Chains A and B, each alone.
Chain A
Amino acid sequence: MSLHRLLLRQLRRHLPDYADNTAQQAALQDLLEAVSLAYQQNDHERALLERSLDITSQELIERFEQAQRSLHELEQSRGELQHSLSLLSATLEATVEGVLVVDTRGQVRQHNAQLGQLLQLSHEHLSAPQRLLKHVLRQLHQPSRQLRQLRSLWQQPSATATGELSLRDGRQLAFHTQPQIVAGEEIGRVWSFRDTTEQHNHDVLMQHQAEHDSLTGLANRSLFAQRLDHALLRAEQQQGQLAVLFIDLDNFKLINDSAGHHTGDELLCAVAQRLQAALRDCDVLARIGGDEFLVLLDELDHDAQAQQIAQRLLEVLRQPLLVEGKKLWVHASLGQALYPRDGTSASELISRADMAMYHAKSRGRNNAQSFSPVLEQQVLRRVDLQSQLQGALVRGEIHMALQPKVSLADSRIVGAEALMRWTTASGQSVSPMDFIPVAEQTGLIVQLGDWILQQALDWLSTQHDQSLSIAVNLSALQLEDEQLPARLLSWLTLRNLQPERLELEVTESMLMQNRELASRFLEQVRHYGVRVAVDDFGTGYSSLNYLRWLPIDVLKIDRSFVHDLNTAQDARAIARSILSLAENLQLAVVAEGIEDPEAAAFLKEMGCSLGQGYWYSPPLSPEAFAERLSIPIPTLSALKN
């Protein structure tokens, strides 16, 4: 074994002879080896110690560096987290919605500035859930309703809800709420609010416009129908009564055309106000177009009440209206339909009130009429006739009939009255009393009128006897036809007929109702030489002085007087008066409806020169008329037999 070098050195120094002294070597060997071993072990120990020290230092440095890195990473994470938070905050602040985040106990965890604005929050309000809740509820229109909703949400933490909040200050907020979920667990709830006031107001406005008339602000047809439906439901349940009134202004078109549309609009508004003021709170007034109004009279105590209110409405309209500095008069035709008597559905009641209104129009306007089943029948019939009449002329279903006009003295035929007869394809005869009004309504009267006139003139031109005349009835509508006189003239000229041979008959009431128009028309035709007769004389709103001014030639005594000549003293008196009047005014007279020889005798005796009636002849076809013409005239005495 080699000895430790330190030991060797020591030996060299202290036992210089050792290397050569084998005896010494032998003696000291064990000791020296032990010492050497001890030195070696010492060296090893020290080396190990130093090594340990180095390694430990290194380890500590490594750990320190790692800690530094961890710290740095932590700092970075913190920085990133901070950044994320800032980003989140900025995002939250950048939205137009107010956002509120609460935890499961209702404590506010997050919110943005917009929320504060929308809900007018201060720091205080956000500090406790109760305070926040109170503050919000106080701003609501219907806090109890919202509270109920909130309670049900509280019990369902996983529920989502959307809704609207109406605030006292008029604002509208839309809200949405849903649970906040992290790793599958509900840790809170998120609320978002948006100001929808504008949209809401817009919607409300749209809704209003959809249900109301833009000019008057009254309900429109659809809203009226809704209200009527509801009222009917109630009335049905409570067995109550209600009424629907249909109001149509009588001369609105005239005013609109003459004073201008602006005035017309103002007038409508004024009318609406008047009507509204005359109605009760439970009634509904609607404008359904033009100059038409509908009224719902709800919760009536008795039928008569409807009548009363209707009359009241008409009355308030009869007072003049001040519109744009002008005093305007407008009255109305009113039709009423009652529930449950006249109908049970909204459409039934409205259409029947409409029919009644038309009836009021036909009864001279400015009045109120109730619905009756007859009206409906009339309407139905009218509609039926309308459609049939449409093509009747083309199909040749219309014929002319001629009633002989005779000289009372010798029963000689001096002329004829042209009458329209309609036999439908199925063979049904329709009285002119029925189809003329229909024709007038549809405007067909113009064609019919032209047709009968031309038929009459055609007939005239075929008669050898040039002294024969023909009379044709005019309708009021024809009076409005400004081109008719000229047409008439051309027809006359075309047929080379003397105008005097044509007589146009207008009823007394027609003349009275359309004085100006009638005058104008008649003057024109008279100018050409055509004669004018007043039909049904004595039955209209006669005022004697107009006779002076009207361009007429003939008075026709109404059949009602002729009929009663035999039995009524006053009838005779009137007839006499008319004859006298006519003579004095140099007008000719024709008696209508002579049905028996006694009447004929009376008239002859009174000095009436002309007449017509069943006694002499019913209306005949042109062929039959021609036949009649050829028959010699029987004497009165002969006829008595």
Chain B
Amino acid sequence: MQVTQYLDELPSTAASDVQLVFAFATPAAYQARVAELRAAFPQALLAGCSSAGLIAGERVDDFPMVATAISFAHSCVSHAWLKLADCAGDSFSAGQQLGAQLPKDGLRHVLLLADGLHVNGSALIDGLQHTLPAGVQVTGGLAGDGERFEQTYVYCNEHCTSQALLAIGLYGEALRIGHGSQGGWDSFGPERLITKSVGNVLYSLDDQPALALYKRYLGEHAAELPASGLKFPLSLRGPDGQPGVVRTILGVNETDGSMTFAGDMPEGTYARLMRANFERLLDGAAGAAERCNSHLTQQDAELAVLISCVGRRMVLGQAVEEEVEAVRATLGAKPVLCGFYSYGEISPLLDTEACTLHNQTMTITVLGEA
């Protein structure tokens, strides 16, 4: 397995053995350079999306584009591409359709890149996972749009489309895949009952408008919603008191006081506000990396795809690279680090089979070939 990362210049000669190129970029940059990419990597699947920041090695910045080219010795790549419009905006059936399109023989893992603002991430993953064979997991992320929350894009070869979905299938026995996801946010304050919600739109907590609660906590920063809302994700208590998931705001509606989250906000669930603890964020990143290690030893890891949450970048501010450094420190020097800051991360929940949408996490997928 060969992995090469390009920040500015792409290879002048075509590298035909490259099967997959992760091209995380701004939409403008991608459109400008897609032809170049195609020329450089004629056989590869060009995959990427817009973001709230790019990761290249241990650097984090708003690069125009970071291209990471991968060639496998014994493994293959396939993909499924879908526009949300083609499934009437139903995320669950979108996931099903994506899954249906992917060939299943030899499928080992699915990497999913999805629109960041119009998708119900949890429904999408649900729909997709139903179609996958046992043992195949999904990792990935939701495309971002900086701190603007206006429009996100997913790239697939020539396509640079908003409200689109890309599922990348990885095939072959030789593949070694590891994953890990961890947050580092702490819940605080009282539990609040989700009293009204529809899918991933939250209307009220304890019969009070959700937006009002956020404005109270944000004070003058309420003007910067939804971005400022990233500072206070909600943790949802799982059934029977089990640890649940963290949800981030994607949008607000001033008219009805509702807030759109990246995933389902089921009525009757208890939610608590969370806030970031700097140190624990870094620990989280390291922790995520450590989990990857449990699946894949340091020797085998060639590539690590880091999908971290926009909220973390906001909190970490200028020190954001420290979390990537923490990952590096844990994964070792070998794997190439690529990735982006997303509006949501996709990964199995802890050690269960069920993949789910996370927020505010550092989610890492590590690949290698035996």
**Do A41 and B217 have beta carbons less than 8 Å apart?**
no
Cα–Cα, bound, A34→B273 (Å): 30
**Do B221 and A41 have beta carbons less than 8 Å apart?**
no
Cα–Cα, bound, A334→B218 (Å): 122
**Do B221 and A56 have beta carbons less than 8 Å apart?**
no
Taking CB atoms and an 8 Å cut-off, the chain B residues in 141-181 that contact chain A are none
**Do A55 and B216 have beta carbons less than 8 Å apart?**
yes
Produce 1/0 per residue, B189-233, CB < 8 A to A. Answer: 110000000000000000000000000111101000000000110
Residues of A within 8 A of B6 (CB): none
Produce 1/0 per residue, A44-56, CB < 8 A to B. Answer: 1100110110011
Residues of B within 8 A of A60 (CB): 189-190
Cα–Cα, bound, A86→B188 (Å): 46
Which residue in B188, B189, B273, B318 is a CB contact (below 8 Å) of A38? B318
| Residue B275 at the chain A interface, CB threshold 8 Å | yes
Q: In this complex, what residue of B is CB-closest to A44?
A: B221
Interface of A is mostly: helix
| Residue A59 at the chain B interface, CB threshold 8 Å | yes
| Residue B135 at the chain A interface, CB threshold 8 Å | no
**Do A52 and B275 have beta carbons less than 8 Å apart?**
yes
Cα–Cα, bound, A38→B278 (Å): 14
Taking CB atoms and an 8 Å cut-off, the chain A residues in 15-67 that contact chain B are 34, 37-38, 41, 44-45, 48-49, 51-52, 55-56, 59-60, 63
| Residue B317 at the chain A interface, CB threshold 8 Å | yes
Residues of B within 8 A of A45 (CB): 315
**Do A34 and B217 have beta carbons less than 8 Å apart?**
no
**Do A59 and B190 have beta carbons less than 8 Å apart?**
yes
Residues of B within 8 A of A37 (CB): 317-318
- B226, chain A: closest CB distance, angstroms: 16
**Do B275 and A49 have beta carbons less than 8 Å apart?**
yes
Residues of A within 8 A of B231 (CB): 48
Taking CB atoms and an 8 Å cut-off, the chain A residues in 167-201 that contact chain B are none
Which residue in B190, B218, B315, B318 is a CB contact (below 8 Å) of A34? B318
- B218, chain A: closest CB distance, angstroms: 8
**Do B189 and A59 have beta carbons less than 8 Å apart?**
yes
Cα–Cα, bound, A219→B162 (Å): 114
Residues of A within 8 A of B318 (CB): 34, 37-38, 41
Residues of A within 8 A of B216 (CB): 55
- B168, chain A: closest CB distance, angstroms: 36
**Do A51 and B275 have beta carbons less than 8 Å apart?**
no
**Do B217 and A51 have beta carbons less than 8 Å apart?**
yes
- A32, chain B: closest CB distance, angstroms: 13
Cα–Cα, bound, A59→B216 (Å): 11
Residues of B within 8 A of A38 (CB): 317-319
Cα–Cα, bound, A44→B217 (Å): 13
Produce 1/0 per residue, B282-322, CB < 8 A to A. Answer: 00000000000000000000000000000000010111000
Residues of A within 8 A of B188 (CB): 52, 56
- A175, chain B: closest CB distance, angstroms: 52
Cα–Cα, bound, A612→B70 (Å): 179
Cα–Cα, bound, A615→B206 (Å): 142
**Do A51 and B219 have beta carbons less than 8 Å apart?**
yes
Cα–Cα, bound, A51→B222 (Å): 13
- B324, chain A: closest CB distance, angstroms: 18
Residues of A within 8 A of B219 (CB): 48, 51
Given contacts A48-B231, A51-B217, A52-B217, contact A41 B190 (CB under 8 A): no
Cα–Cα, bound, A211→B210 (Å): 89
Q: In this complex, what residue of B is CB-closest to A58?
A: B216
Cα–Cα, bound, A517→B217 (Å): 135
Taking CB atoms and an 8 Å cut-off, the chain A residues in 443-479 that contact chain B are none
Residues of A within 8 A of B275 (CB): 48-49, 52
Taking CB atoms and an 8 Å cut-off, the chain B residues in 215-262 that contact chain A are 216-219, 221, 231-232
Taking CB atoms and an 8 Å cut-off, the chain B residues in 12-66 that contact chain A are none
Cα–Cα, bound, A49→B219 (Å): 11
Cα–Cα, bound, A55→B189 (Å): 9
Q: In this complex, what residue of A is CB-closest to B276?
A: A45
Q: In this complex, what residue of B is CB-closest to A53?
A: B188
Cα–Cα, bound, A55→B315 (Å): 20
Cα–Cα, bound, A34→B317 (Å): 10
- A34, chain B: closest CB distance, angstroms: 6
Cα–Cα, bound, A60→B232 (Å): 18
Produce 1/0 per residue, A77-93, CB < 8 A to B. Answer: 00000000000000000
Cα–Cα, bound, A436→B232 (Å): 135
Q: In this complex, what residue of A is CB-closest to B315?
A: A45
- A465, chain B: closest CB distance, angstroms: 143
Cα–Cα, bound, A49→B273 (Å): 12
Q: In this complex, what residue of B is CB-closest to A49?
A: B275
- A75, chain B: closest CB distance, angstroms: 23
Residues of B within 8 A of A49 (CB): 275
Cα–Cα, bound, A490→B188 (Å): 142
**Do A56 and B189 have beta carbons less than 8 Å apart?**
yes
Q: In this complex, what residue of A is CB-closest to B232?
A: A52
**Do A41 and B189 have beta carbons less than 8 Å apart?**
no
Most buried by A among B188, B216, B217, B221: B217
The 13 listed contacts between A and B (C-beta, < 8 Å) are: A38-B317, A44-B221, A45-B315, A48-B218, A48-B221, A48-B231, A52-B217, A52-B232, A55-B216, A55-B217, A56-B188, A56-B190, A59-B189
A-B contacts besides A56-B188, A59-B189, 19 pairs, CB < 8 Å: A34-B318, A37-B317, A37-B318, A38-B317, A41-B318, A45-B315, A48-B219, A48-B221, A49-B275, A51-B217, A51-B219, A52-B189, A52-B217, A52-B232, A52-B273, A52-B275, A55-B189, A55-B217, A56-B189
Could you list which residues of chain B lie within 8 angstroms of chain A, going by C-beta atoms? 188-190, 216-219, 221, 231-232, 273, 275, 315, 317-319
Could you list which residues of chain A lie within 8 angstroms of chain B, going by C-beta atoms? 34, 37-38, 41, 44-45, 48-49, 51-52, 55-56, 59-60, 63
Q: Which 6 A-B pairs have the closest CB atoms?
A: A56-B189, A41-B317, A38-B318, A51-B219, A55-B217, A63-B190
